[in-house]
Structure 1
Amino acid sequence: MSILDNFAVPGQVAIVTGAGRGLGAATAVALAEAGADVLISARTAEQLEVVAEQVRATGRRAVVVPADLSDLDAVAGLAQTAFDEFGRLDTIVNNVGGTFPRAFMDTSPRFLTEAFNFNVATAHALTRAAVPLMLKSPDGQQSVVTISSMMGRTADRGYVAYGTAKAALAHWTRLAAADLAPRIRVNGIYVGSIMTSALEFVAGQPEMMNQMETRTPLGRVGDPDDIAAAVLYLASAAGKYVTGKLVEVDGGIQEPNLSLGMPDVVG
């Protein structure tokens, strides 16, 4: 047996949320290429169908579930749908999330609560619904991967809602790992600056791109496949001795690499 075989997930079943584009889409295709059937969900059906065709091109099955994943009942329901469609459930990738930056005084308690719900409560709702179904699989290779952010471990102006939610998601990952060991591994990724639609506004502004790249030790913005590869490691037997950990896939940054130029608070 080759060490490379540990990165394969033949016959397994994964759910990837926020899979219509960006990190979720790349992750769904990577898991399919490694042998998994995939349920993908996001708000926009047309985007999901494009990703589903890429999954099917690998020879694996894809189930498309358009849904508003801020609805906790909807996101929890994905677990049973996947089990009903495929007969098993092995991997959950909690990718849905995100929150726009806002100045501190523009961040209402409601906005903070919504950020927490969208980034943390969604992951909890889906994982909680999935656990009883994952435990039905006998091989002990079940895993959960959460997508956090480097803003969950660093600080800059404008991220009090987003950064707080992603920090909470990271610690939820550690706590869930303790609760679900040894049967289900739970790990996460601190994601750095990745060229997805969220950074399109930066891509068209050379000065901002230069700032982001020069402040990143590896000198470039990441690619969605950089994250997908890390997810595959954590979800496969290659990561079978890893749980409760957050992997930093961020080009080596130790502090934010793009200033939003938020002004000082004045009275």
Structure 2
Amino acid sequence: MILDRFRLTDQVAVVTGAGRGIGAATAVALAEAGADVVISSRTESQLDDVAALVAATGRRARVVPADLSDPAAAGDLACIAKAEFGRLDLVVNNVGGTYPRPLLETTADFLEEAFRFNVSTAHALTVAAAPSLLEAGGSVVNISSVMGRVTGRGFAAYGTAKAALAHYTRLAAADLAPKVRVNAISVGSVATSALEVVVGNDELRGRMEAATPLRRIGEAEDIAATVVFLASGAGRYVTGKIIEVDGGLQAPNLELGLPDL
């Protein structure tokens, strides 16, 4: 059965930024596909809620509250997974994000912080997990963004970091082939807490939907389903690729309105 290729029975995954939004939906989707998960973010109460959803699928979740802006903390998750479950098959580098900021207010420190949070943490966890992934023939899925390939005012730091994560994906895939597959998802506008201001405003939401070819804002489960595909046997012939899950965007679907300098 073709659907059997999407199963992750008895595999083990680490998902960062898993307290809510895409990370939470991904952790639950992986559990539904048969995996146990190590889930990490800053807020323990959010992780506990996700762990309860994982438990409802019959799988196990290990909750690890941590400040994942620290690459060392991200790297520790690989050791925790191995100690808790005895193996590690999948890493989902989901933690990241950076607030928009006008170019002339984007300091070098702000740019470096964006790079560390979006790229260095992913690298630290990937390297720490590599021995286990090589042993298991596992995979890595990085969560990038449409802003890593399109242009819009105010996104110099975020877009640069996500573009770097996308190319890091290609380079890491070359280094880890043929035993470990590394892919990324270029995410468009998804209804998570980061978009609460837009989702809760009919006028802004309408503008964003109208500027999206599929005429809707994405759901976290749209991304989670793609993670399952890339992580499972269904995606076993895919590596070094950036999968665009963005509603068809070729340009930002909501400009910040920053004036000419």
TM-score by length of 2: 0.99
Which one of 227, 232, 244 corresponds to residue 231 of structure 1? 227
Which one of 216, 220, 237 corresponds to residue 220 of structure 1? 216
Instruction: Return the alpha-carbon distance in structure 2 between the equivalents of residues 71 and 157 of structure 1.
Output: 28
The Cα offsets for residues 182-233 of structure 1, whole Å up to 9 and x where unpaired, read as 0000000000000000000012222211110001011000000000000000
Query: Quick one: which amino acid aligns to residue 154 of structure 1?
Result: V
Residue 263 in structure 1 maps to residue 254 in structure 2: no
Instruction: Return the alpha-carbon distance in structure 2 between the equivalents of residues 113 and 120 of structure 1.
Output: 10
Instruction: Return the alpha-carbon distance in structure 2 between the equivalents of residues 98 and 161 of structure 1.
Output: 10
Instruction: Return the alpha-carbon distance in structure 2 between the equivalents of residues 100 and 148 of structure 1.
Output: 15
Measured after TM superposition, the shift of residue 133 of structure 1 is 1.8
Instruction: Return the alpha-carbon distance in structure 2 between the equivalents of residues 74 and 251 of structure 1.
Output: 33
Query: Quick one: which amino acid aligns to residue 6 of structure 1?
Result: R
Structure 1 unmatched runs, 5+ = none
Greater than 6 Å deviation, 4+ residue runs: none
Measured after TM superposition, the shift of residue 136 of structure 1 is 2.6
Alignment root-mean-square deviation, CA: 0.6
Q: How does 1:76-225 map to 2 (within 5 A)?
A: 76-137=75-136, 140=137, 142-225=138-221
Measured after TM superposition, the shift of residue 135 of structure 1 is 2.2
Identify the residue that residue 34 of structure 2 maps to in structure 1.
35
Query: Quick one: which amino acid aligns to residue 100 of structure 1?
Result: Y
Instruction: Return the alpha-carbon distance in structure 1 between the equivalents of residues 214 and 74 of structure 2.
Output: 36
Measured after TM superposition, the shift of residue 102 of structure 1 is 0.3
- Of the structure 1 ranges 237-246 and 201-210, higher mean CA displacement relative to structure 2 is found in 201-210
Identify the residue that residue 25 of structure 1 maps to in structure 2.
24
Measured after TM superposition, the shift of residue 250 of structure 1 is 0.4
- Of the structure 1 ranges 204-213 and 120-129, higher mean CA displacement relative to structure 2 is found in 204-213
Instruction: Return the alpha-carbon distance in structure 1 between the equivalents of residues 201 and 260 of structure 2.
Output: 24
Structure 2 unmatched runs, 5+ = none
Identify the residue that residue 51 of structure 1 maps to in structure 2.
50
Instruction: Return the alpha-carbon distance in structure 2 between the equivalents of residues 248 and 27 of structure 1.
Output: 17
Instruction: Return the alpha-carbon distance in structure 2 between the equivalents of residues 226 and 71 of structure 1.
Output: 28
The Cα offsets for residues 12-67 of structure 1, whole Å up to 9 and x where unpaired, read as 00000000000000000000000000000000000000000000100001000000
The number of residue pairs the alignment matches comes to: 261
Measured after TM superposition, the shift of residue 73 of structure 1 is 1.1
Query: Quick one: which amino acid aligns to residue 45 of structure 2?
Result: E
Q: Percent identity, aligned pairs only?
A: 66
Instruction: Return the alpha-carbon distance in structure 2 between the equivalents of residues 27 and 127 of structure 1.
Output: 18
